Amino acid sequence: MKKIIAVDGPAGAGKSTVSKIVAARLGYTYIDTGAMYRAVALKVLLSGKTVEDVTQNIDIKLDESGKVFLDGHEVTKEIRTPEVSRGASDVAKFGVVRKRLTELQREMATQGKVIMDGRDIGTQVLPNADLKIFLTASVEERARRRFEELKEKNFAADFEQIKKEISLRDKQDSEREIAPLAQAEDAILLDSTDLNIEQVVEKILQLAAC
Ligand code: DC
């Protein structure tokens, strides 16, 4: 069984949903690196301090159940707002932030049996991962999934607006200078546009077993 699994891909491709399920099935730890960039963004927004100042003195913890703690306070829900999504993509351009979070992420993976998702896991954070997946889906499909998710939670949702925001984040994440969103040379491309969650999970489990 592959001990370290890296899952990268654009916003809304289903990385966290499938990674969580794969982790549960294999008895692995799931590490959501996007939540860490979101926590940095939240702290910048709340404190009004510079990205550099915030990064120097920040405590981010992820627990086994998926809860996120920023400086000892739970922020699991607060980091999911559209404002924080945009902020996370903005702070992710800073070298100081990437360096600090990459160190933390590598530390978290040292015990093995982990599945880590993000944008640069296969290329930068864990280049020696045993299995690398690049999970993608069309912009239309990713926007449709996000739209359905918001509707289910009874949140107001505008499909065209969601599509615009997803496209903007794709562009920002893949065009930034440091550690942009990219498929590692040895990553396996998985297009989930026409697959359901269970089909993607099955595919990853098969790949993890060989
Ligand atoms: O996966 P997510 O949508 O929660 O990530 C939020 C933002 O964080 C994303 O737009 C880009 C950034 N990010 C990153 O640059 N590198 C990672 N490994 C994970 C996320």
Atom 13 of ligand 1, residue of closest alpha carbon: 34
Atom 15 of ligand 1, residue of closest alpha carbon: 92
In this prediction, residue 155 has a pLDDT band, given cuts at 50, 70 and 90, of confident
Look at residues 66, 70, 68 and name the one whose alpha carbon lies nearest to residue 45: 70
Atom 2 of ligand 1, residue of closest alpha carbon: 34
What is the model's pLDDT at position 206?
97
Question: For 45-95, what is each residue's pLDDT tens digit?
Answer: 999 999 999 999 999 999 989 999 999 999 999 999 989 999 999 999 999
Beta bridge partners of 131: 5
List of residues 6+ apart from 62 with CB closer than 8 A: 31, 32, 35, 36, 68, 69, 108
What is the model's pLDDT at position 110?
95
- What are the chain's domains? 4-203 (3.40.50.300)
List of residues 6+ apart from 162 with CB closer than 8 A: 143, 146, 147, 150
SS3 109: helix
pLDDT > 70: percent of the chain = 100
Question: For 107-151, what is each residue's pLDDT tens digit?
Answer: 999 999 999 999 999 999 999 999 999 999 999 999 999 999 889
38 alpha carbon – ligand 1 mean position (Å): 7
34 alpha carbon – ligand 1 mean position (Å): 4
Look at residues 143, 12, 153, 7 and name the one whose alpha carbon lies nearest to residue 77: 153
In this prediction, residue 8 has a pLDDT band, given cuts at 50, 70 and 90, of very high
Res 182 pLDDT > 80: yes
Average pLDDT, the chain: 95
202 alpha carbon – ligand 1 mean position (Å): 24
Res 2 pLDDT > 90: no
195 alpha carbon – ligand 1 mean position (Å): 23
What is the model's pLDDT at position 115?
98
What is the model's pLDDT at position 28?
97
Q: Ligand 1: residues within 6 Å at CB?
A: 11, 33-34, 37-38, 88-89, 92, 118-121, 169, 173
